[in-house]
Every structure is written in C-alpha cells, then in structure tokens.
Amino acid sequence: MHVEFLGVPRQRAGISELEVQANTLGQLLGTLATQIPPLGEFIAVDRLHSSFIANLNGDQFISDPATPLVGDDRVLILSADAGG
C-alpha cells in the first residue's frame, strides 16, 4: 500500500510518500520503524506514539495494530495534535 507522511513525520522521513507491503497497521508501522530509523522515536513496536496518528484513505483515523490493510490502501501518518 501507499504511505503518505505529513508534517513532522514527513520532515523526519525526508520523503513524502512510500510504497510498503503489509497486512495490518502494526506490520506497516514495524516496517517503517526499520526502514526509516528517524521515525523510530514515534513508533513503539507496532504502535504510534500517542502524539501521532494514522489515517486510512483520508477517511477513518486508525490506531489498532490489527487493523487490516489491503493493497490499494493509502495510509497517512501525521501529528495527532492539530492545535493551531
């Protein structure tokens, strides 16, 4: 599936988008932590730090590592804190 980084995750990753193979959100996050070490501070095994959040296809925000993902999903990783 397609991963899109926004805000600080994009800054840390140094890229805005990435293709990753994973069946669940937990797998995806584990892969990201390995492939992009600067993101490691925000990922604990298979979960995002509480100040970050994942979103599925621009619709639903997701946090359960068991959330299933399919091939054409787009997962967005961003700061959960939207304070301005």
Q: How many CB atoms lie within 10 A of CB 65?
A: 16
In the bound state with another protein, the residue whose beta carbon lies nearer, of 21 and 61, is: 61
Amino acid letter, residue 11: Q
Binding region for another protein (CB under 8 A): 4, 6-8, 10-11, 41-42, 49-53, 55, 58-64, 76, 78-84
CB 22 within 8 A of CB 31: yes
- C-alpha pair distances (Å), 80 with each of 2, 14, 19, 23: 20, 19, 22, 23
| Smallest separation, CB 59 to another protein (Å) | 8
Q: How far is it, in rounded angstroms, from Cα 4 to Cα 76?
A: 5
| Smallest separation, CB 78 to another protein (Å) | 5
In the bound state with another protein, the residue whose beta carbon lies nearer, of 23 and 50, is: 50
| Smallest separation, CB 55 to another protein (Å) | 8
